[in-house]
Amino acid sequence: MWFLLEKGIRLDLKLVNRKLAACGMKFDAKKFVERIEGMAKLWRVDLKNLIIGELPEFEAIKDSVIKSVWQL
Cα separation, 15 vs 21, in Å, equals 10
Angle at 56 between CA 6 and CA 39, to 5 degrees: 95
The Cβ-side half-sphere exposure at 49, using a 13 Å CA radius, reads 3
Query: What is the per-residue pLDDT across 14-72, written as a single tens digit (0 to 9) for each?
Result: 999 999 999 999 999 999 999 999 899 899 899 888 888 888 899 999 999 999 888 87
- pLDDT at residue 66, as a whole number: 92
- pLDDT at residue 26, as a whole number: 96
Residue 61, C-beta contacts closer than 8 angstroms, at least 6 positions apart? 2, 43
Supply the pTM of this predicted model. 0.74
